[in-house]
Structure 1
Amino acid sequence: MNKHRLLSILLASAFVGPAYAQTMSVSAAELDSLKAQISALQAKLAEIEEQAKANTTSVAVNAKTLAEQKPVSVASEKAKSEDGITVGGAIRTNFNYTSYSEGNKDRGGDFDFDIFRLNLRGEIGDVSLNGEIRFFDYMTAIKYAYVGYQFSENWEVNAGITKVPFGNSPYNSQNYFFSTNYYLGLEDDFDLGVVFKRSIANNWQLDLGFFKNDELGGVDGYVDNRSDRYSYDIVGARTAGEGIYDEPGQTLAEYNTFSGRFAYHFKQGELTTEVGVSALSGGIHDGESRAGDYQALALHANSQYQRWHLQLQHSEYRYDIDQLEQIAIGAYSFYDTIAAEATSTTLNVAYDLAVNFGAVTGLQFYNNYGVVYDKSDDTANTVMNVTGVSVAAGGLFTYFDWVHAKNQPFVGGSGAGDSGDYEQRFNINIGYYF
């Protein structure tokens, strides 16, 4: 039996039956009213079915973005309409099995605590607040902490530890490890400054930023360990005799950086595409005087067709510091080394699939490839390919990644490594977002 017909019978029984028992008759006006109510309910049911059908054929939200924004999405409608701060967060654990550690292989892999994080977001008196602090076993790091104000229909300003506008947004990757650009400080980087953001209007958007220094206060920031940070930045010069993982003997830091990102959006049928260009330029300071400068440039594109995503990015960077060929960088309480100048190219493909399998509601399959080449220190290319799937299930969001890489941090290598061998890492990151 047609479900709309069944709904009509049930509704008619519910409304008409009691009336008939009481009055043994129903007026024509009452019947017309009941029929109108049933028709309205049938139309509403049809609308809900169309919405459900649309949701099963296309998942438009990038899964990586969904995981990061989960604490925001659970805010109540009341919290959105009134002044106040919403608290969210995540607890994550991590399993890995690697080719480059005999001990890890002998143990059958390692399962560790990853992070506990807290997120704050809200608005008081038209001034917004966004913040995230991350607690690791080995360090505590503020990812971002900034206030914002929308001063016109299309423009807003953010000030504090805020994101440097550069490259594909919000991420140039779908996997847990980001792209090779992240380890160069060119993806998901946060520094202390101010950003003016123009929302998408007339198909284009513009972000303009000025950053006084990095998130730890620059070259003379009062911190115990300048590598205790979320995003990668220059922390020193890599001089002769130092190991690639050593704390640098000569301290350096970025300052007075200007950054801009322009993007144009267009749509043709079911294909939506953003193409853009990004650039940044700033100074390098040694604590006493200007030691040099640095620049980066990127061309990027981000497309979606139905369930498919495609990302492309070509980036170049240069640190011009007294003919220095290598620089020391730091993040995650860990020092590493990269070439003072290099080129990077990334290519990412992903496929979204909405499912209804118990608590599991969404899958995203992806393959992310990146290579860093033309290095000024003549070391071998850095290559990383990540094949995996992310799984959304209620408050749980999990990455299953197979990483195949060489000269790649956290996959048995370094950005300044010179190995010709590829290493592998199977990684499962399980997060509960609240």
Structure 2
Amino acid sequence: MFPFLSFGQNKDKPKLELGGALRFNYIYSSWKEEQKTKGGELGYDMFRINAKASYKKVFLNAEYRLYSDAFGGGFLKQGWVGYKFSEKNEVHAGLVYVPFGIKQYNSHNWFFNITYYAGLEDDHDMGLKYVHTGANWDYAVAFLKNAEELNFGGDVENSSSRYSYDIVGRNKETNQFNLKLVRKLGNAAKHRIGFSGQYGSLYNIDTDTNGNHYALALHYEVDYNSWNLKTEAITVAHNPENETGQSNAIVQMGAYGTPYEVAADFNMYTAALSKTFKVNWGPISQLEVYNDFGYMQKKEQEFTDSFQNVTGVLVTAGQVYTYIDYAAGYNHSWLGGNFIDDFSTGNLDAKWEARFNINIGYYF
């Protein structure tokens, strides 16, 4: 973050920091013939502004992102006001990070892991969260009133112009409770063993009735020398109260301007491994090599499972961070699928498809 405005070092004076990023993407996709013919495409990805402010024990954290219209345009990723009770305890209110799974990312690459595409990684919702950060234990408790509400109408579908995936269509997430507990162990190797759980209602516009949904996760992360390993096992169930004739085996989720279908009930298993190398190659100071794998096991027998694997390297050169990724997917909406039902019914005849992606960003 760049210190744009500061009123001295006194804790009782207001402080403001501004930062952000500008990113561009090169894409070469195995399933797009026009990209093969042209040798790929290079275009605008995203511009963002971050703001952090504090005054005495009250502080603010906000991030606004601007994508192209095709990917949802501009929207708030996060934005909350906090109060620090002590060095270990604080409360956040607003569009807060949802305490579920490995924080902040269950991945190392630009694409995230498969958990992100079902709203289970780097998710943000409207509510209140209490956070404790200790020497041996971390925990967080949250009440999330709803996902981002842009229309303020009970009978209006949620917009898909958002950063993280949420339920959209004829159902809406509401009155969700989250609990996350992490035990920290080790000296040379730093272990973080955790449990996460969430339970909430699904309000259906057509029936004016509340269904429910829940997710449970066990997660483990370890840092040893220059290695990092992240693993998660998750089980999820959605029980909407849809009108007659609508399938309860599928829910609709949306982000980046476009919705798609997701299996209502599934398990997810992920493993992400990375190793960091310090180098001295001109402006390049660090390389992080990684492989992130994710598997979505759908509980409906007629549905076909989904997979994702990303192999790549993050290149650090001053304030420029470049992700070079080879992302492969099977029944994956963003990796060669038909987008609509890859994460729900899937396709038995689907093939593994891949996208070579270079994301270049200047972070300030």
TM-score by length of 1: 0.76
Alignment deviations for residues 159-180 of structure 1 (CA, whole Å, 9 cap, x no partner): 0000000001111000000010
Deviation at 1:72, TM superposition (A): 6.4
Alignment deviations for residues 13-72 of structure 1 (CA, whole Å, 9 cap, x no partner): xxxxxxxxxxxxxxxxxxxxxxxxxxxxxxxxxxxxxxxxxxxxxxxxxxxxxxxxxx36
Q: Does 1:392 align with 2:316?
A: yes
Q: How many residues align?
A: 348
CA distance in 2, matches of 1:154, 1:357: 40
Question: What's the counterpart of residue 364 of structure 1?
Answer: 288
Deviation at 1:148, TM superposition (A): 0.6
CA distance in 2, matches of 1:368, 1:165: 21
The amino acid that maps onto 1:415 is: F
CA distance in 2, matches of 1:208, 1:189: 15
Please state whether the residue corresponding to 2:46 is helix, strand or coil.
strand
Contact 1:163/1:189 (<8 A) preserved? yes
Contact 2:94/2:128 (<8 A) preserved? yes
Q: Does 1:258 align with 2:177?
A: yes
Q: Does 1:93 align with 2:19?
A: no
Q: Does 1:404 align with 2:323?
A: no
Question: What's the counterpart of residue 214 of structure 2?
Answer: 295
The amino acid that maps onto 1:91 is: L
The amino acid that maps onto 1:171 is: Y
Deviation at 1:383, TM superposition (A): 0.4
Deviation at 1:126, TM superposition (A): 2.1
Q: Does 1:232 align with 2:165?
A: yes
Question: What's the counterpart of residue 429 of structure 1?
Answer: 359
Q: Does 1:319 align with 2:319?
A: no
Structure 1 or 2: larger strand share?
Answer: 2
CA distance in 2, matches of 1:165, 1:391: 29
Question: Residue 420 of structure 1 is aligned with which of 335, 342, 350?
Answer: 350
CA distance in 2, matches of 1:426, 1:198: 40
Deviation at 1:410, TM superposition (A): 1.3
Q: Does 1:142 align with 2:76?
A: yes
Question: Residue 210 of structure 1 is aligned with which of 101, 126, 143?
Answer: 143
Structure 1 or 2: larger helix share?
Answer: 1
Contact 2:157/2:168 (<8 A) preserved? no
Deviation at 1:152, TM superposition (A): 2.9
Contact 1:116/1:134 (<8 A) preserved? yes
Over 3 Å counting, the alpha-carbon distance change for 1:80 and 1:74 in structure 2 is farther
Over 3 Å counting, the alpha-carbon distance change for 1:420 and 1:210 in structure 2 is same
CA distance in 1, matches of 2:10, 2:100: 29
CA distance in 2, matches of 1:340, 1:403: 25
Greater CA deviation, 113-122 or 208-217? Answer: 208-217
Question: Residue 199 of structure 1 is aligned with which of 123, 133, 136?
Answer: 133
Greater CA deviation, 222-231 or 405-414? Answer: 222-231
- Give 1:22-33 correspondences, 5 Å limit: none
Q: Does 1:383 align with 2:307?
A: yes
Question: What's the counterpart of residue 122 of structure 2?
Answer: 188
Question: What's the counterpart of residue 117 of structure 1?
Answer: 48
Please state whether the residue corresponding to 2:186 is helix, strand or coil.
strand
Alignment deviations for residues 232-261 of structure 1 (CA, whole Å, 9 cap, x no partner): 01112xxxxxxxxxxxxxx21100000011
CA distance in 2, matches of 1:253, 1:313: 26
Tell me the percent identity: 36
Question: What's the counterpart of residue 285 of structure 1?
Answer: 203
Over 3 Å counting, the alpha-carbon distance change for 1:383 and 1:78 in structure 2 is farther
CA distance in 2, matches of 1:222, 1:433: 40
Over 3 Å counting, the alpha-carbon distance change for 1:313 and 1:209 in structure 2 is same
Question: What's the counterpart of residue 35 of structure 2?
Answer: 104
Contact 1:219/1:252 (<8 A) preserved? no
The amino acid that maps onto 2:189 is: L
Deviation at 1:112, TM superposition (A): 1.1
Greater Rg by CA = 1
**Runs (4+) of structure 1 moved beyond 6 Å?**
72-77, 221-225
Deviation at 1:377, TM superposition (A): 6.3
Query: Over the residues paired in the alignment, what is the CA RMSD in angstroms?
Result: 2.2
Contact 2:150/2:158 (<8 A) preserved? no
Structure 1 unaligned spans of 5+: 1-70, 237-250
CA distance in 1, matches of 2:155, 2:46: 24
TM-score by length of 2: 0.90
Q: Does 1:335 align with 2:253?
A: no
Deviation at 1:200, TM superposition (A): 1.9
Alignment deviations for residues 129-168 of structure 1 (CA, whole Å, 9 cap, x no partner): 1000000111111000001111134210000000000001
Q: Does 1:220 align with 2:148?
A: no
- Give 1:5-24 correspondences, 5 Å limit: none
Q: Does 1:158 align with 2:99?
A: no
Deviation at 1:75, TM superposition (A): 9.0
